[in-house]
Amino acid sequence: MADKLDQIFVNVLHWLVSFLPEALRPLASALVCIAFILMVFPLIFSLTTIFERKGLGRIQNRYGPNRVGIPFTKIRLAGFGQFLPDGIKMLTKEDVVPRAADKVVHFLAPIVMLIPVLLTYSVLPFGKNMTLADYDAGLLFFLAVGGAVEVSVFMAGWSSRNKYSLLGAMRAIAQMVSYEIPLILSAVTVVMIVGSLNLSQIVAHQNQYTCGIAHWFVFTPWGLVGFLLFFIASLAESNRTPFDLPEAESEIIAGYFTEYSGFKFALFFLGEYLGMFAIIGLGITLFLGGWTSPVSFLTWIPSWIWFLTKMMAIVFVFIWIRGTLPRLRMDQLMNLAWKFMLPLALINILVAGIWHYMAADWQRWLVCSAIIFGAYVILGRGLMANQKLGLRVYKFAE
Amino acid sequence: MSPFFIITAVVTLLGAVFAMSLRNLVHCALAMAVAFSGVAAMFLQLDAQFAGFAEILVYVGAIAILIVFAILLTRSGETPEKSVLTSGWWAGIAVTAMVFTILGWAILSSSAVPKDLPAAPVATVKNIGDALMTKYVLPLEIIGLVLTAAMIGAVIIALKEDKKDNSGGEQ
Amino acid sequence: MIWIVKNLWLIPALPLFAAGIIAVNKQPARKLAATLAIGSMALGFLLSLCALAATLGHHGEGAFRETFSFNWIQFGGQWMSIGWVLDPLTAIMLVMVTFVGMLIFIFSVGYMSHDKNFMRFFNFLALFASGMLGVVIANNLFLLFVSWEIVGLTSYLLIGFWYHKPSAAAAAKKAFITTRIGDLGLLLGMVWLYAQTGTLNFYTPEHTGCLEASALAGMVSKTIFGGMMVSTAIGLLIFLGAVGKSGQVPLHVWLPDAMEGPTPVSALIHAATMVAAGVFLVARVYPLMAAGAAPVEHGAPITTALTVVTWVGAITAIFAATIAVAQNDIKRILAYSTVSQLGYMMMGLGVGGVAVGMFHLITHAFFKALLFLGSGSVIHGCHEEQDVRKMGGLKKYMPITFVVYAIGMLALAGFPLFFSGFWSKDEILHHASLWSVSHVPFYLGCCGALFTAFYMTRQMGLVFFGSYRGHEESSHSAHGHSHSAHSSESAHSHDPHESPAVMTVPLIILAGFAILLGVIGTPAWPWFDAYLNGELADLQIKFSNLAESAGLMGVSALIVLTGITVGWILYGKRQRKTAAEKDVLEAAQPAIFKLLENKYFIDEIYEATIIRFNAFAAWLCDFADKWIFGGAVFLVKYLTIGSSWLYRLTDENVVNGGFDLGCGSIRGSGGGLSKLHSGRVQTYLRIIGVALVALIIFLIWGRIA
Amino acid sequence: MTPLQTCLLVSALLFSIGFAGAVTRRHAILVLIGIELMLNAANLNLIAFWRFSAHPEALTGFIFVLFSMAMAGAEAAVGLALIIAIYRHKKTSNLDEVKELKG
């Protein structure tokens, strides 16, 4: 029964495709999968926007949206009906294009944004046997395609002919390029241990249990550090607080999509959130065991539920961080990436190598933890060396 | 040849033509990104999955962005009013024509071309990694060294060198 | 294998580490230096006791012998292995060296307390101890040689410790160079031995070492010129090293001069241990020396090598003893006494075997260290005065020193029955009297014993009896003689004073041993002999043996008593009045006394012969260098100058003109070509394109053709 | 035409387009873009030869492409740094005006 529930989507797909002739089946199943992804993830996106607004509201001691429910009834759904009027409003707004803008590029930018983001979903394993394109070099595909988002950001920023947009775009690109390096390097550790770039194999490698605890990589010293680095880098990659300088509505008025409105803005918005989901999904796959259960007695819960649960948990952490931390300065942003995360990620690769080649007993835990801790302390001190941290003095406020 | 291949080839060549002929440099760079994506797609068609992904990662993700940055840093993002061609462009066209003619002639007249299509080769990541780490480990190390040297060299070349500006608040 | 065998290396390594740590420490850290050095020696002493216990606990066939070797470096296809051996010889030497060394280190803390180079001193001392212990434990002539040279180096450094004194620097050089002559022999012997046996290990578990039967048989069977066995020749070369180190005639000249070093150094290095290393070396390679001899029922086997050893020892013994009679420096007397006693040891090795020589070595180490330290105490007490004529009556001022010094003196003189020196010397004389080759060494030894008793009594009489004669000197040279060490004391008092406890306690301990050690080697209970030969099982007191040698003992006792009596009459009862007064013997026999005082003019003879020859050779070389080789160089120089002048003429007039012409035309054509070099990248790119086309055409065309 | 020849022709075209741009356009960055296109044409060539060779399992052409990509990255970084440096010195990136090395 549990197995049936687990494989319900796969079986439905097989059933659907079985009506077609043999030659068309692969194409048809791909199309069905794409349709499915296009249905599910935008839905999650729209729910997440409400979730985020409500969460932020709670953190900031407000209510957040709590009115809109099912029309013509008294059912309010705690405000979760809000996304529908929001979406309708967004899609029906006037599409304003600046006169000086480079029209073609301006038009293409949101599309170029959305395509690579959607492409990345093709390699993520959402559940057992639920990978759309099980590439041998899946991780490389994800990172390569994800890198193309930068082009769209540039296109948006440059084509708007607006200095805020351009500034925002340049900031975004600099930030993405910088944080892509620790992101990739922290993923490399997993590749080293698993010996494959295939995401399904990476998940399968973590789908083992000792004493009822899963072999998630986050439970190892290098994996923990890798996950934290990956987590920070993915915050930056998805332009979330505290790395939201490119959008910084209080400084440069939403950055590279200042000049976008209506449908195009919705596309950007969607693209951004889908990118966030994708990179969280990758983080889950690499370090948190993908669709596997953390403890062996919970394996009866369907794998896709696990995946979505983990994803939403991390989305919640993202929202929590957004409500908690202030925005970084540009120099702090760059220092963190180049002087702290990059060396730590490199050392983490070394540690993963040591982990791989040492015998599996307590000594390797000790050695690996010691190296990482030492590196953390030294790098942290290096990062803090030139910064006079202390209570802020408000010169003009009083 | 499959229709997919023809489509990608056409997209690639069109992207290349636009990259070389548009007046605005940013458009050129974007067209170049299209051409590179097309080349990557062709790699995929030729069963070189890894190379295709690497192509996207390197060219679209890195080099295109780098070029865009260089365009903005040299303040050439605007469409120029003057001619965009060199003084001796006609000679260049002539030489290009010669080059293409001779290349095409060489390709078409070559007899050393296999007629039959061999089976799709296996280039799994594992094979590539094995080859890189065993047979080609020396070139790999050298390429690493070259990249490091290039990075340091690029940083040094692009550094501001005049010491007079150091006192200013420029960051 | 017993753990101590495997860890025997720790004994030399501990002082080595101590030396290293002292060397790298910040300078004024006296406590650390002294603690480290003494601590390392104390630990070494404990380990040595363990080693001794291991050898004592052995009950089996033959002597206890365990080795531990490992490969060290590779020469061509062969491995040089080094290692260590534990046998009774090693064990007894280890105990002696570490124990005496420890006591002397403790003594040095007091003696050197005012020296500002205290740390350097302890550094060198610890290094020396490490080298010496290395010599002792070595199971390999190579390791032995290395340690031997470390010992030589530290000896050099310590003799020249007060290098600002020219005499000390000269003495250091002399010691170093003289012992080098002997070491050359040792090195040659070592190389030859390696060539013959293919190994330098003394003993191996497989019995393939160079001192074991198979190797010895091979060397005995070969002869060189004059029918001399190879083993004998090698043995004699090695013995040359021992001669240098142990100050045997004719290489003894450095040892008395070495007394320029601080007194603990004299005691440790130049009396107790290092100079005994030569004796130890001969004892170590004794199987080589004795190889090829016909078996004899009593005493040592008779071979050419051992005969040479005996003769050299006997001559040294009497020779040095006579010189000692006429010396006035307290340390110099002891130095010649040391040379003489080393001669006895050599003689003992030659006539009686390892046990006889080694027994005297051990007893001598204790009482000679005692005497040297006692003299150090005296010198320290008398404000660095070393001339015995300026002492006198110290019995009153320094009672403890007097008692222990008297014990040492009686032990050295061989006072009957109660002192260790008597038993060990008597054993040598006993064996010498039974030597079948010649009786001359026995008579020489007896004369030496007489002289020994005499000069020691003389020294005692001059130093401790009568009245103090130091005032007359110091009263008018007090300012020139003031030492920083004593500046804190009351200025008017120049009386000698007793030394502090840190100096006297080691003296007392050593004195105890100087008496007691004789017990282990009496003819009645020849434990030492048996121990070294590995016959520990059946030991009981045999008074019959005592009776057997009673006659000789009587003669020996008579000789000693005669010497002491004569000495007492001449120097004890009848005290000299002033320091400047002539010596009694000088008054009686001025010529002989002069000869003895000047050490038989050996230094002068060396000066006149070897050194002059050396200087002549050096002058010859200098001459050749200056005129013959130098002339050739000058000739070449002028030839070069002349030819270069010629070249210049040619160059300026002929070559340059041609080149100027050529350059003009090349510049013209270069100007033409540089038009092609437009500086435009794209022009170049076009040219490359054309070149590509040309290349492809060429390739395809060539293929078709 | 065999598939290999098709690939080679496409590659030749790509090369020629890149070459044409590199020799006719005035802006230094465009020359660089042209060179990148030519490099890509070469890569395409290599991949095609690898795909249609008798022994593709040797991976020679494939690995060659990877190395050539890495070289291209290095080349682009240094080339763009040079262009920026030239721009800073001469306030232009027009190659017609950059001819200091004229003989």
User: Is pLDDT larger for residue A333 or for residue B164?
Assistant: A333
What are the residue ranges in chain A where pLDDT is below 70?
Answer: 1, 248-249, 252, 386-389, 395-398
Instruction: Report the gap between the CA of C670 and the closest CA in chain D (Å).
Output: 9
- Cβ-Cβ contacts under 8 Å for D19 (sequence gap 6 or more): B95, B96, B99, C685, C689, D34, D38
Q: Say if the Cβ atoms of B50 and A140 lie within 8 Å.
A: yes
Q: Does B have 3 or more CB contacts under 8 Å with C?
A: yes
- The distance between the two most distant Cα atoms of chain B, rounded to a whole number of Å, is 69
Rounded CA-CA distance C614/C616 in Å is 5
To which residue do tokens 């880098």 refer? A233
- Please indicate whether, in this complex, the C-beta atoms of B146 and D71 are within 8 angstroms of each other: yes
Chain centre to alpha carbon of residue B122 = 25
Both structure tokens of C77: 């296809």
Query: Which secondary structure element, helix H or strand E, spans residue C53, and what is its range?
Result: helix C30-56
Cβ pairs bridging B and D (under 8 Å): 238
3-state secondary structure of C211: coil
Residue C487 has which token pair?
């500046």
| % of chain C with per-residue pLDDT over 90 | 8
Secondary element (H or E) of residue C85: strand C78-86
Residue A88's pLDDT is 86
Strand partners, A213: A210, A295
Residue B111 DSSP symbol: S
Interface with B, mutate which of D39, D83, D86 (most B CBs under 10 A) = D83
DSSP label of B85 = B
Using one digit for the tens of pLDDT, what is the confidence trace for C317-352? 988 888 888 888 888 888 889 999 999 999 988 888
Q: Quick check: C678 contacting B, CB < 8 Å?
A: no
pLDDT, tens digit, 9 for 90 and up, residues C88-143: 888 889 999 999 899 889 888 888 887 888 888 899 999 999 999 999 999 888 88
Contact residues for C154 (Cβ-Cβ < 8 A; gap 6+) = C124, C125, C127, C128, C131, C269
Q: Within 10 Å of residue B28's Cβ, how many Cβ atoms?
A: 25
Instruction: Mark whether B and A touch (3+ CB pairs within 8 Å).
Output: yes
Question: CB–CB of D12/D5 below 8 Å?
Answer: no
pLDDT of residue C481 exceeding 80, the answer is no
CB atoms within 10 A of CB A3: 10
Closest residue of A to B28, CA-based?
A105
Mean pLDDT across C477-482 = 43
β-bridge pairing C78-86 and C66-75 = antiparallel
Largest CA distance in chain D: 53
CA dist list (Å): C41 to B132, C45, C90: 60, 6, 16
Residue count of chain A, please give it.
Answer: 398
Q: Please tell me which chains touch B, using 3 or more CB pairs under 8 Å as the contact test.
A: A, C, D
- What mean pLDDT is reported for chain C? 83
- For the domain B1-76, what is the CATH code? 1.20.120.1200
User: Residue type at C187?
Assistant: L
| Sequence ranges of the domains in chain B | 1-76, 123-160
* Closest chain B C-alpha to C685 CA, distance in angstroms: 9
In this predicted model, what pLDDT tens digit does every residue of C437-468 receive, in sequence order? Answer: 888 888 888 888 888 888 888 888 888 887 77
Q: Rounded to two decimals, what is the model's pTM?
A: 0.53
Across the interface, do A147 and B60 touch by the CB < 8 Å criterion? yes
**Residue, of C700 and B39, whose pLDDT is higher:** B39
Task: Compute the distance between CA of residue A149 and CA of residue A275 in angstroms, rounded to an integer.
Answer: 9
The one-letter amino acid code at C386 reads Q
Rounded Cα distance, C556 and D29, in Å: 112
Structure-token match 């012992």, residue found: C179
Inspect the interface and report whether the beta carbons of B65 and A140 lie closer than 8 Å. Answer: no
Taking the C-alpha atoms of C354, C355, C359 and C362 in order, what is their torsion angle to the nearest 10 degrees? 60
- Measured in whole angstroms, how far is the alpha carbon of residue C265 from the centre of its chain? 11
Where helices occur in C57-87 by DSSP H, the ranges are none
* Chain D residues whose beta carbon lies within 8 Å of the beta carbon of residue C676: 103
DSSP state of C387: B
Q: Does D31 touch chain C (CB under 8 A)?
A: yes
Chains that touch A (3 or more CB pairs under 8 A): B
Please answer yes or no on whether B54 and A140 come within 8 Å at the CB atom.
yes
Task: Return the residue of C nearest to D25 by Cα.
Answer: C682
Q: Give me the residues of A, 149-168, that contact B with CB < 8 A.
A: 150-151, 154-155, 158, 166
Closest by Cα among A302, A371, A323 to A10: A302
Q: Is A249 on the interface with B (CB under 8 A)?
A: no
Are B64 and A144 within 8 A, CB to CB? no
- Render pLDDT for C565-606 as a digit per residue (tens, 0 to 9): 888 888 877 777 776 777 777 777 777 878 877 777 877 888
Q: Which residue has the tokens 């052409």?
A: D61
> Cβ of B118 and D82 within 8 Å?
no
Residue listed under structure tokens 């500086």: C679
**What pLDDT is stored for residue C504 in this prediction?**
85
The answer to whether residue D32 neighbours chain B at the CB level (below 8 Å) is: yes
Q: Using N-to-C axis directions, what is the helix angle for A25-59 and A8-17, rounded to 10°?
A: 140
The pLDDT of C245-250, averaged and rounded, is 85
Q: Which residues of D8-41 are buried (b: 16+ CB within 10 A; e: fewer)?
A: bbbbbbbbbbbbbbbbbbbbbbbbbbbbbbbbbb
Taking an 8 Å cut-off on Cβ atoms, the answer to whether B26 and A105 are in contact is yes
pLDDT confidence of residue C538: 55
* Start-to-end CA span in chain B (Å): 54
Q: In the predicted model, is pLDDT for residue C681 greater than 90?
A: no
pLDDT of residue C469: 77
Residues whose CB is less than 8 angstroms from the CB of residue A240 and which lie 6 or more positions away in sequence, other chains included: A276, A318, A321, A322
Chain C's closest residue to D24, CA to CA, is C682
The total number of residues shown for chain B amounts to 171
* Residue C19 near residue C130 (C-beta atoms within 8 A): yes
| Kind of pairing between the strands at C66-75 and A209-210 | unpaired
CB A272 within 8 A of CB A237: no
Express as a percent the part of chain D with pLDDT over 90: 20
D102 touches chain C (CB under 8 A): yes
Contact A159, B29 (CB under 8 A): no
Transcribe C225-294 into DSSP letters: GGG-BHHHHHHHHHHHHHHHHHT-TTSTTHHHHGGGS-HHHHHIIIIISHHHHHHHHHHHTHHHHHTTPP
| Mean pLDDT across chain B | 82
Q: Which of D1, D6, D15, D29 to mutate to test the interface with B (most CBs of B within 10 A)?
A: D29
Domains of chain D in sequence order: 3-97 (1.10.287.3510)
C201 strand-pairing partners:
C140
Nearest Cα neighbor of B67 from B28, B18, B22 is B28
Distance (Å, rounded) from C-alpha B16 to C-alpha A73? Answer: 59
Residue C434 Cα distances to C150, C282, C283, angstroms? 39, 21, 20
Which residues on D lie below 8 Å from B89 (Cβ)? 23-24
Q: What is the pLDDT of residues A20-35, one digit of tens each?
A: 888 788 888 888 888 8
Task: Give C525-564 pLDDT, tens digit per residue.
Answer: 777 777 777 665 455 666 666 677 778 888 888 888 888 8
- Tell whether D19 is within 8 A of chain C (Cβ): yes
Which helix (H) or strand (E) segment is C427 a member of?
A: helix C420-433
Give the pLDDT confidence of B131-149 residue by residue, as tens digits: 888 888 898 999 999 999 9
What is the spatial distance between Cα C498 and Cα C505, in angstroms, rounded to a whole number? 12
Alpha helices in chain A (DSSP H): 2-6, 8-17, 25-59, 83-92, 103-120, 138-147, 149-159, 163-194, 199-206, 221-237, 249-252, 262-287, 303-324, 330-335, 342-357, 362-384
Helix locations, C138-165, DSSP H: 141-159
Query: Higher-confidence residue: C176 or C705?
Result: C176
CA distance B57 to chain C (A): 29
